[in-house]
Amino acid sequence: MAHTVEKIGGTSMSRVNELRDTLFIGDREGTDLYGRIFVVSAFGGITNLLLEHKKSGKPGVYAQFANADTDHGWHEALDRVSDAMIAAHRAVLDSAADTERADEFVRDRIEGARNCLIDLQRLCSYGHFRLAEHMLQIRELLSGLGEAHSAFVTTLLLQRAGVDARLVDLSGWRDEGDVTLEERIETAMKGVDPMTEMPIVTGYAQCAEGLMREFDRGYSEVTFSMMAALTGAREAIIHKEFHLSSADPNLVGPGAVRKLGRTNYDVADQLSNMGMEAIHPKAAKTLRQADVPLRVTNAFEPHDPGTLIDDQPADEAAVEIVTGLDIIALEVFEQDMVGVKGYDAAILDTLTRHDVRIVSKVSNANTITHYVDSSLKSMRRVEKDLAAKYPSAEIRSRTLSLASVIGRDLRGLSVLTRGLQAIADAGLESIGATQGPRNVDVQFILDREDLKPAIKALHGAFIEDQARELPRVA
């Protein structure tokens, strides 16, 4: 088929009325409006209120319900979600009739969820039932509320503008049966013709696999990629509020960064490892296997082609992006480690049990150091468990940062040597550095306060000083 599948993130969705006039419609007329399936996230901030704040961890409805000593906390949190949803759609809808329909939609879904949670609490007051056994299903239920709301509102908005938009709700609201993700999508898309209408699809899909169990907040990209693969899309497109560029423009300056324009899934995986996902690795795998190329664009520059991500190697060696991440170094030193197997497996098991994400790792004869993306609170638990297992080991956690220079092909560029020199020339010191034989990234370990100036120095050395014919970000 000649259609595309396109995803819009939550921050951009909060400006969906602007996107109506540019991305959705723009200068298109008639049949040119169609041939596009849109997968939408919840309006900005809604999922944080439903679950917990993604960055700060501030509890939302789910966290309040899970830890409630009384009912007041989660009820009030659910009321805040309702108020935020209503405020979000009233900010983008122009028609009073559409606003009234959206208000009623929110009331129906919020009160339905409230009644479900009340009934579950009542059921679990009996000794045969345990609330903990149902918490994942509760997280799934709450997650779907945000995407169902934004998809419903977007459909109303586009229909009011004369577009033949169609809501495709994958959230499983009041549906019977436990179906796979493929079955959920295929059933919902039966009778839908993207060449003559515009499907607006919820980023959350209820399925037997449980998207939250494996992907947590990355579920919308998994839905998006599966939709593209199953419908045979010619291209999958992610619309962000910015271009995929050589560094954070707020850090190195908007005039210094360059739009990537073209890269591959290998680089996308490295970006994911650094916490700045172009796309979830599982979603990328689905697209790769289905031979569907990915494009990342700026939602508010609809005529700019953005950056194409495919499986193709680079035409020539080049640094493409410089980024960084605050990390914690978990160092396990044991004099008797040398020549003894089992230490690494035990450390990995402990990190996995405490749900700690590993970014990188180095080791020598008697020391294993994992660079992880976690909180100090979690690391204290890890240290306690490891100390119990290895009482004679020296175990410590240290807050650091990691700067990464990434490209499809870094061969022959002396990135490690030149990077260390650029950091030193900026008056900084690299605590450590690693480079693998695949030549797609080089990592520099630094003190926390040195990360931003180090990224700026590395970007200056590898991007700004190179005569590369890449278009600048506007």
Same domain, 229 and 344: no
Contact between 202 and 151 (Cβ < 8 Å): yes
pLDDT band with cut points at 50, 70 and 90 for residue 68: low
**Residue 199, domain CATH:** 3.40.1160.10
Q: By percentage, how much of the chain surpasses pLDDT 90?
A: 74
pLDDT band with cut points at 50, 70 and 90 for residue 136: confident
Same domain, 327 and 229: no
Same domain, 329 and 237: no
Same domain, 355 and 234: no
Kindly state whether residue 365 falls inside one of the protein's structural domains.
Answer: yes
Query: For residue 176, is pLDDT > 90?
Result: no
Same domain, 427 and 329: yes
Residue 342, class by beta-carbon neighbours within 10 Å (0-12 exposed, 13-18 middle, 19+ buried)?
A: exposed
Kindly state whether residue 300 falls inside one of the protein's structural domains.
Answer: no
Contact between 222 and 206 (Cβ < 8 Å): no
Tens digit of pLDDT for each residue in 220-271?
999 999 999 999 999 999 998 888 999 999 999 989 999 999 999 999 999 9
Phi-psi region of 447 (alpha: psi -120 to 50; beta: other; left: phi over 0): beta
Number of other residues whose CB lies within 10 A of the CB of residue 390: 18
User: What is the pLDDT, as a whole number, of residue 69?
Assistant: 55
Kindly state whether residue 262 falls inside one of the protein's structural domains.
Answer: no
Residue predicted with more confidence, 213 or 471: 213
Kindly state whether residue 442 falls inside one of the protein's structural domains.
Answer: yes
Domain end point (choices 218, 241, 264): 241
Query: For residue 71, is pLDDT > 80?
Result: no
Same domain, 66 and 157: yes
Kindly state whether residue 280 falls inside one of the protein's structural domains.
Answer: no
Tens digit of pLDDT for each residue in 375-419?
999 999 999 999 999 999 999 999 999 999 999 999 999 999 999
Same domain, 111 and 208: yes
Kindly state whether residue 295 falls inside one of the protein's structural domains.
Answer: no
Q: How many domains does the chain have?
A: 2
**Residue 355, domain CATH:** 3.30.2130.10
What mean pLDDT is reported for the chain? 91
Note down the domain range covering 342.
Answer: 321-464
Kindly state whether residue 255 falls inside one of the protein's structural domains.
Answer: no
Kindly state whether residue 12 falls inside one of the protein's structural domains.
Answer: yes
pLDDT band with cut points at 50, 70 and 90 for residue 76: very high
Same domain, 237 and 328: no
Query: For residue 473, is pLDDT > 60?
Result: no
Same domain, 203 and 328: no
List the single range of 15-24, 47-56, 118-127, 223-232 with lowest mean pLDDT: 118-127
Residue predicted with more confidence, 47 or 175: 47
Q: Which residues of 400-434 are buried (b: 16+ CB within 10 A; e: fewer)?
A: bbbbbbbbbbbeebebbebbbebbeebebebeebb
Same domain, 233 and 356: no
Domain end point (choices 192, 225, 241): 241
Same domain, 347 and 214: no
Q: Which residues of 285-323 are buried (b: 16+ CB within 10 A; e: fewer)?
A: ebbbebebbbbbbbbbbbeeebbbbbeeebeeebbbbbb
pLDDT band with cut points at 50, 70 and 90 for residue 340: confident
Domain end point (choices 225, 241, 257): 241
Same domain, 216 and 331: no
